[in-house]
């Protein structure tokens, strides 16, 4: 049973009709008193709750009722209903334990998708899940691109296996180089949308001026240099999954535009005022601490809750050292296959040495080290000394080249050389590079684009 709480009889009637047609059993009540009577005697599958029940529009009644409902039914998901201009109230509700919020007038498809997602996740939470092992993971799911079997990794894969079949928005967090894109792909591949597009967008590399054209598309003649129609990323991802990488680097002015399309699943192509609907699942990723950014007002709180129904945190490589031998062998085999080289083996001392390194660049750093050592040494069996010499060589080179000659360089050339050196010093870790240069990741991306500097993503 789905409980509807709204003082507007027309809203109750409309929602009741919608839910019955969708196969649910709705029960509608006009206010807090009746709602509390219901939750005291029964456990609904889900609650749809308005934020105001009198002439006031502060939303305090809705927040108070939500807190009371959570006392009696702490595990029942609650979806709040509010006007677009009152999203700040919905954010307060999310902080108080609501699952999601929808705006009035609601989109039937978006509302039903949110309801089904909430119920699916709630039912999964009730089930006693045994920890996923690697054999079961390989037999039941598509995790072939993800290497490892350590406890921290299997916990991540267990979460992915449970949430992939739903439409829940997912936020993947973790340091650069931990494999966030691979996890996003795994969520898509193991979902009902697997045969539909998986569209990747690096938001950190998008300037404010390019955001709308890139994400929503444009019509010919919409602006200067718009010589042909362009299909935006959201339209390309229709029926599938859109992966919003580096979402923490998105400028505030673009965040509100993104929030609107994620809220209503509608957008307008530049130069065309006709709204277009889109059916997408949203997976985002960041190495930033979005909660801190919300507190600093550099990331919108309402957008944070919109993308963050489920959080998947990827452990750093130093937190899953048991996987390092498996990863090293995997990268070595791939390198041999790609370049037609003889297969190589690792001595036990070499594997022990690799497991002791700090890996600030995580899996990407390990991959680079293994491939570089293979090519430089040319040996059939790699020893600890081979890897140690490569680590030492990289460190010494960074120190020697840390202060290049400035003779004859223009300001732009000097900036480009500084960025190239920082990329080399920090093994391509863009967060560390940006920090070392004293600029934001977004600013770093703009300079990489300006100087046409390729980056391994």
What is the distance between the alpha carbons of residues 395 and 400, in angstroms, rounded to a whole number? 9
Structure tokens at 257: 């535009």
Region of residue 16 (phi > 0: left; psi between -120 and 50: alpha; otherwise: beta): alpha
What is the distance between the alpha carbons of residues 321 and 356, in angstroms, rounded to a whole number? 8
Of 406 and 229, which is predicted with more confidence? 229
Asked if residue 52 has pLDDT above 50, the reply is yes
Over residues 415-426, mean pLDDT = 82
Rg value, the chain, Cα:
25
pLDDT attached to residue 436: 73
What is the distance between the alpha carbons of residues 284 and 305, in angstroms, rounded to a whole number? 12
pLDDT attached to residue 55: 57
Asked if residue 415 has pLDDT above 90, the reply is no
pLDDT attached to residue 104: 82
pLDDT band at 399 (very low <50, low <70, confident <90, very high): very low
Buried b (16+ CB within 10 A) or exposed e, 88-102: ebbbbbbebebbbbb
Structure tokens at 228: 């042909």
pLDDT attached to residue 15: 94
φ, ψ (nearest 5 deg) of residue 214: -70, -45
Percent of the chain with pLDDT over 70: 90
pLDDT band at 435 (very low <50, low <70, confident <90, very high): confident
End-to-end CA separation in angstroms for the chain:
46
Asked if residue 386 has pLDDT above 50, the reply is yes
pLDDT attached to residue 274: 85
**pLDDT digits over 314-373, tens only?**
999 999 999 999 999 999 999 999 888 889 999 999 999 999 988 888 999 999 999 989
Contact present, 288 and 245 (Cβ < 8 Å): no
Least reliable range by pLDDT among 161-165, 228-232, 281-285, 286-290: 228-232
What is the distance between the alpha carbons of residues 258 and 111, in angstroms, rounded to a whole number? 18
Of 62-71, 203-212, 412-421, highest mean pLDDT = 62-71
Beta bridge partners of 311: 171
- Cα–Cα distances (Å) from 171 to 181, 277, 355, in that order, read 11, 23, 29
Question: What is the DSSP pairing of strand 281-286 with strand 170-173?
Answer: parallel
**pLDDT digits over 147-159, tens only?**
999 999 999 999 9
Asked if residue 450 has pLDDT above 60, the reply is yes
pLDDT band at 290 (very low <50, low <70, confident <90, very high): very high
What is the distance between the alpha carbons of residues 366 and 427, in angstroms, rounded to a whole number? 10
- Cα–Cα distances (Å) from 119 to 77, 380, 404, in that order, read 7, 55, 60
**DSSP secondary structure of 66-88:** HHHHHHH-TTS-EEEEEEGGGHH
pLDDT band at 84 (very low <50, low <70, confident <90, very high): low
Structure tokens at 383: 């020893």
Over residues 436-442, mean pLDDT = 74
pLDDT attached to residue 210: 82
SS3 286: strand
Least reliable range by pLDDT among 67-76, 200-209, 342-351, 354-363: 200-209
What is the distance between the alpha carbons of residues 169 and 284, in angstroms, rounded to a whole number? 8
What predicted TM-score, i.e. pTM, was given to this entire model? 0.75
Number of C-alpha atoms within 13 angstroms, CB side, residue 422?
21
- Using the 8-state DSSP alphabet, how is residue 326 labeled? H
pLDDT attached to residue 409: 64
Please return the burial class of 339, using the count of CB atoms within 10 Å of its CB with bins 0-12, 13-18 and 19+: exposed
């Amino acid at each position: 049973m789905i409980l509807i709480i709204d003082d507007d009889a027309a809203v109750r009637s409309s929602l009741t009709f919608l839910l019955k047609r969708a196969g649910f059993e709705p029960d509608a009540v006009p206010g807090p008193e009746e709602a509390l009577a219901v939750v005291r005697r029964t456990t609904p599958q889900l609650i749809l709750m308005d934020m105001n029940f009198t002439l006031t529009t502060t939303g305090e009644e809705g927040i108070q009722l939500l807190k009371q409902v959570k006392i009696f039914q702490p595990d029942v998901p609650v979806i709040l209903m509010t006007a677009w201009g009152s999203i700040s109230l919905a954010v307060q509700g999310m902080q108080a334990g609501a699952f999601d919020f929808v705006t009035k007038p609601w989109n039937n498809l978006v509302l039903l998708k949110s309801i089904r997602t909430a119920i699916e996740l709630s039912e999964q939470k009730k089930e006693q899940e045994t920890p996923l092992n690697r054999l079961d993971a390989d037999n039941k799911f598509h995790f072939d691109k993800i290497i490892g079997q350590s406890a921290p990794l299997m916990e991540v894969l267990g979460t992915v296996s449970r949430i992939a079949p739903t439409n829940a928005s997912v936020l993947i967090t973790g340091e650069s180089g931990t494999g966030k894109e691979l996890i996003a792909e795994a969520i898509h591949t193991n979902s009902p949308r697997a045969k539909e597009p998986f569209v990747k967008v690096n938001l950190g590399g998008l300037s404010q001026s390019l955001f709308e054209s890139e994400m929503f598309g444009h019509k010919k003649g919409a602006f200067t240099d718009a010589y042909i129609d362009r299909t935006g990323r959201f339209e390309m991802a229709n029926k599938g999954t859109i992966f919003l990488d580096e979402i923490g680097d998105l400028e505030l002015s673009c965040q509100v535009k993104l929030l609107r399309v994620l809220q209503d699943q509608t957008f307008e192509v530049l130069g065309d005022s006709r709204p277009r609907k889109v059916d997408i699942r949203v997976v985002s990723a960041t190495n930033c601490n979005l909660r801190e950014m919300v507190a600093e007002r550099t990331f919108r709180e309402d957008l944070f809750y919109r993308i963050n129904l489920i959080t998947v945190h990827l452990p750093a490589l130093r937190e899953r050292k048991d996987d390092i031998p498996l990863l090293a062998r995997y990268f070595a085999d791939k390198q041999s296959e790609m370049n037609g080289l003889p297969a190589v083996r690792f001595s036990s001392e070499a594997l022990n040495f690799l497991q002791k390194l700090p890996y600030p660049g995580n899996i990407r750093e390990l991959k680079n080290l293994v491939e570089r050592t293979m090519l430089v040494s040319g040996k059939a069996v790699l020893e600890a000394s081979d890897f140690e010499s490569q680590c030492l060589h990289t460190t010494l080179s960074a120190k020697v080249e840390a202060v290049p000659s400035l003779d004859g360089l223009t300001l732009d050339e000097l900036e480009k050389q500084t960025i190239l050196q920082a990329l080399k010093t920090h093994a391509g870790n863009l967060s560390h590079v940006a920090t070392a240069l004293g600029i934001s990741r977004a600013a770093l991306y703009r300079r990489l684009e300006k100087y046409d500097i390729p980056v391994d993503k």
